[in-house]
Amino acid sequence: MKEKSTSLFFSDIVGYSSLFSSNEKLALNLLEEHDIIAERHIAKYKGKIIKRIGDAIFAEFSSAKNNYYASINIQKELIKRNKILSNENKIEVRIGLHYGNVYENNGDLFGNNVNICSRLESIAFPTSIACSQEFIVELQDLKIYNREYGFIALKNIKKPIKVFKIYNDQKHYLSENKNIILDFISNRSIILLDNDNIEKEFIPIGFLYPKNLGDIYTIDKSADNDFLSIEINKQLIDFANKISIIRTPSFETMIDYKDKDLQEIALELSLEYLLQSTIMRDDDSFKIYFTLFSINSAENIYDKKFEGKFHDMKNIIGSLLIDLSDLLNFKISPEQIKIFNAELNVNNDAYRLYLEGKNLSQINSSPDSLEKSKLKLKQSINIDDQFAEAYAALGMTYIHLGENDEADECFDEAEDIIEDCENLDTLSIVYNDLGIYNRVQGKIKKSIRNFEKSLKSIKKLNDQVKLGNIYTNIAAAYSIINENELALNLSSRAELIFKELDEKIRLGSLYGTMGNINKNIGKLEEAIKYYNLAKKIFLSEDMIAKYAQVLIIQAECYYTINNIKNALQNLNEVKQIADDFNMPMLNSRYSLLMAMINFNNKKYNEALDFIDESIDIFDEINNKIKLASSQLLKIRILLKVNKLKKATKIYKKVERLIERLDDNKLSEDLEQISKLINI
């Protein structure tokens, strides 16, 4: 492998993935035209294309000067072309430029400087160029127009990089000022530092989604085996997050990259190492083969086989991380080693059923999956009735099914079991689930106590990701009881953690929570801003369900401030997503808000149609609070169209429901309606 200094180039078409998903033919035509333009200028200035990654181009030049001229001319030609075309036919490109040492092997380039250049491209303005100070220094004899971003903490890059924006010409330069750059940095959640003295000590490792070869004897690759790959990947990332020197992408991110080329993954995520794994299993045990691939040396530097029972999974992952600490020369504290080596005193079959059941139960799982989850978790508890995590997981499944009485019993059992528990992982998981459950039930003070107990365990575990999550959960609880200063303070702590770790998805969820906090205190314009930040992240990560959830809450804010145009714009997107992805909860909330808008516009027949749709869906998915809220609105609509008898009949029905729910807001609304119909 040869080491050399070179000038690096990365480019990427803005919004290409989104365009490709909506209009594949147009996207391919634009990509072909883009490639012709980019290739011509790269060739003219003696550059060499190393590889193409989708719509991105990675190239090198023998000099920074040639790299600069090629990049400027690509942007100028594209801008000139775009002036005479419609928006959908425009091609906008970001370019990142850097200069430094790289390793060359079989025509490819590797090393930290390749990752830096890739990251620079990601923070460039559309139709513009971002470059490093190292690149600028190489252009000292040229007259170039540039403006400094400042020192930027790039994803998984240890030392902050001094970044500059290069302008296409003097006119372009004079049209902007530093505030435009600062606004861009703020809106993109880019971390700006005071100086370059903060050199971070961390090792960026990606834990690839394990390949599952299925049953050892039958080689069954059915989806029933997928729970094992999911759980191993989640636990690998969870344990790695307890080691402060390791930086690893989230489970959700790694899922998106499970079928991609290793070099492509490393470039896009700025990783130095990739851990691959292959699993085989039988009825009560599994074998797993780990290999660690070094991006810099382009070779495997570790391979080892482990095997054990399902309940040995955490010990196996702990042993792997201890091996990696020796190989990569980082320390694991005695407390963490104790956690990694702790025995899981749970029956093996019970643990397998728990893993299967837990992975079938998510907030957007189908009713069929939730019923299967319920069955497996019940079987797990029947085998081991002291398994607290299984009770908590079953409780969460009952919540998703709307079976709150059964959820109550499960969480009571879980809380009783962990009273004498010393396992920090178990305590953090169960108390967090209890906190979520009690928050949903409106028992906010109890919810906060649960979260604080989880927080106590998480601090001992030194798990920064979980710490950010628990701060977010406590903040959401405090906001409900109008302790808004505390809520915002905790949210700010979580934001610092997620920005430091570059946890974009969790940052998106946090911005959603911060939007909710501001919504609760009536700062609706501020709430809308945070929802916009959350939407950008979820859309960029292709998390359509999360994106749609934020859309509907933001639409409620627009409705409240009487910005019906924006509310309807959001709702049109929500409806399309809900139909495309079969999301009944989203459809029901859409119908409820459309009923409210039509009611306020005195379009009572349309309002009745929408409210009936929402009532049917809320009833079907057993969401009793939303069902009661929808029925109260229906009574108001019926009174407007002089259908008192029907309104009274629904009133008596919903009165019984609200008595059982014991919800203060619903009770207040019911009392107001009782005055309207003289009951």
What pLDDT was estimated at residue 224? Answer: 52
What pLDDT was estimated at residue 232? Answer: 93
**Same structural domain, 22 and 144:** yes
- Condensed to tens digits (0 to 9), the pLDDT of residues 400-430 reads 887 878 989 999 999 999 988 888 888 999 9
**Same structural domain, 135 and 257:** no
Structure tokens at 411: 């969480």
Residue 677 confidence class, pLDDT cut points 50, 70, 90 = confident
What pLDDT was estimated at residue 353? Answer: 94
Do the domain assignments include residue 546? no
- Condensed to tens digits (0 to 9), the pLDDT of residues 284-337 reads 899 999 999 988 777 899 999 999 999 999 999 999 999 999 999 998 888 888
**Same structural domain, 91 and 150:** yes
**Same structural domain, 81 and 168:** yes
Residue 531 confidence class, pLDDT cut points 50, 70, 90 = very high
- Domain of 71: which CATH number? 3.30.70.1230
What pLDDT was estimated at residue 199? Answer: 62
Domain that holds residue 26: 2-193
* pLDDT(360) > 60: yes
What pLDDT was estimated at residue 220? Answer: 39
What pLDDT was estimated at residue 322? Answer: 94
Tell me the three-class secondary structure of 112-140, residue by residue. HHHHHHHHHHHCCCCCCEEEEHHHHHCCC
What pLDDT was estimated at residue 646? Answer: 92
Do the domain assignments include residue 60? yes
**Same structural domain, 33 and 102:** yes
**Same structural domain, 20 and 89:** yes
Which residues touch 164 (CB under 8 Å, ≥6 apart)? 130, 131, 132, 133, 136, 146, 147, 148, 149
What pLDDT was estimated at residue 189? Answer: 67
**Same structural domain, 44 and 176:** yes
Structure tokens at 651: 């009133």
What pLDDT was estimated at residue 217? Answer: 40
Q: Are 360 and 339 in contact (CB under 8 A)?
A: no
Q: Are 342 and 330 in contact (CB under 8 A)?
A: no
The dihedral through the CA atoms of 446, 451, 454, 455 has a sign that is negative
Does the predicted TM-score (pTM) go above 0.75? no
Total tally of structural domains belonging to the chain: 2
What pLDDT was estimated at residue 527? Answer: 95
**Same structural domain, 15 and 161:** yes
Do the domain assignments include residue 597? no
**Same structural domain, 17 and 147:** yes
- Domain of 257: which CATH number? 3.40.50.10610
Residue 363 confidence class, pLDDT cut points 50, 70, 90 = low
Measure the CA–CA gap between 264 and 274, rounded to whole angstroms: 11
**Same structural domain, 132 and 152:** yes
What pLDDT was estimated at residue 351? Answer: 94
Domain boundary among 306, 330, 354: 330
Overall average pLDDT of the 631-655 stretch: 92
What pLDDT was estimated at residue 51? Answer: 92
Overall average pLDDT of the 136-153 stretch: 90
Q: Which is nearest to 332 in space by CA: 318, 345, 343, 316?
A: 318
The dihedral through the CA atoms of 641, 642, 646, 650 has a sign that is positive
Structure tokens at 520: 């609760």
Residue 223 confidence class, pLDDT cut points 50, 70, 90 = very low
Measure the CA–CA gap between 556 and 554, rounded to whole angstroms: 5
What pLDDT was estimated at residue 311? Answer: 93
Say how far residue 607 (Cα) sits from the centre of its chain: 35
**Same structural domain, 263 and 120:** no
DSSP-derived 3-state class of residue 311: helix
Which residues touch 99 (CB under 8 Å, ≥6 apart)? 5, 6, 7, 8, 64, 113, 132, 134, 135, 137, 138
Mean pLDDT, rounded, of the chain: 88
Overall average pLDDT of the 444-469 stretch: 92
Domain boundary among 193, 217, 233: 193
* pLDDT(540) > 70: yes
Residue 216 confidence class, pLDDT cut points 50, 70, 90 = very low
Where are the alpha helices (H) located in 441-503, listed in sequence order? 444-461, 464-480, 484-501
Do the domain assignments include residue 437? no
Do the domain assignments include residue 169? yes
Domain boundary among 301, 330, 359: 330
Overall average pLDDT of the 624-633 stretch: 90
Overall average pLDDT of the 104-124 stretch: 89
φ, ψ of residue 610 in degrees (nearest 5): -65, -40
- Condensed to tens digits (0 to 9), the pLDDT of residues 67-95 reads 999 999 999 999 999 999 888 899 999 99
Measure the CA–CA gap between 596 and 608, rounded to whole angstroms: 10
* pLDDT(358) > 80: yes
Overall average pLDDT of the 187-197 stretch: 70
Measure the CA–CA gap between 387 and 422, rounded to whole angstroms: 14
* pLDDT(340) > 70: yes
What pLDDT was estimated at residue 214? Answer: 60
**Same structural domain, 186 and 294:** no
Measure the CA–CA gap between 153 and 222, rounded to whole angstroms: 42
- Condensed to tens digits (0 to 9), the pLDDT of residues 576-623 reads 888 877 777 888 899 999 999 999 999 999 999 999 999 998 888 777
Measure the CA–CA gap between 64 and 140, rounded to whole angstroms: 10
* pLDDT(261) > 60: yes
Where are the alpha helices (H) located in 298-443, listed in sequence order? 313-328, 334-341, 348-360, 367-383, 388-401, 404-417, 424-440
Overall average pLDDT of the 373-395 stretch: 95
* pLDDT(672) > 50: yes
Do the domain assignments include residue 522? no
